[in-house]
Amino acid sequence: MKQENLIALIKELSGFTKLHKEYHIDDVSYIVDANREGNVLHFDVQIQDNKDKKEFEKWVDQLDDDIFNEVWESLSIENNLHNLSELYKTSDYKKVIDKFKAKTKEIALNKIKDLEKLLS
């Protein structure tokens, strides 16, 4: 980190008495807690891998290609997939995971019903 960036960060943090903020960049979460006591600034930064995203992406990799494509197409029509992709990059990524899983369940259940009709 450049010295100018570090100084700017310290100046920003010193403006708060207390601060708790979470940042999500790529698949890493940064949790910043700052506490100012007089002229002393204490701050902690926790760095956490995003396990939810990793587990979701692993789950998606196991989906049948046809079901994945149908879910992808359906979500792109209903929710504008570009918006979902952007939302997945934010701290609200769980909304995308929930929508994707719900749509997958819906499509899979419909396929099962169709197959049951054929077998009856």
Angle at 20 between CA 50 and CA 86, to 5 degrees: 45
Give the range of the structural domain holding residue 36, as residue numbers without chain letter: 3-49
Same domain, 56 and 35: no
Q: Mean pLDDT of all residues in the chain?
A: 86
Do both 72 and 84 map to the same domain? yes
Domain co-membership, 34 together with 23: yes
What per-residue confidence (pLDDT) applies to 65? 93
Question: What is the pLDDT at residue 20?
Answer: 87
Do 11 and 64 belong to one domain? no
The total number of structural domains that make up the chain: 2
State how far the Cα of 102 lies from the Cα of 20, in Å rounded to an integer.
32
* 12 and 61 housed in the same domain: no
Is the domain of 113 the same as that of 56?
yes
- Both 59 and 71 in a single domain? yes
Do residue 65 and residue 97 come from a single domain? yes
Burial of 55 (0-12, 13-18, 19+ CB in 10 A): exposed
Same domain (yes/no): 60, 26: no
pLDDT of residue 13: 77
pTM of the complete model beyond 0.75: no
Pair (74, 102) in one structural domain = yes
Percent of the chain's residues with pLDDT above 70: 97
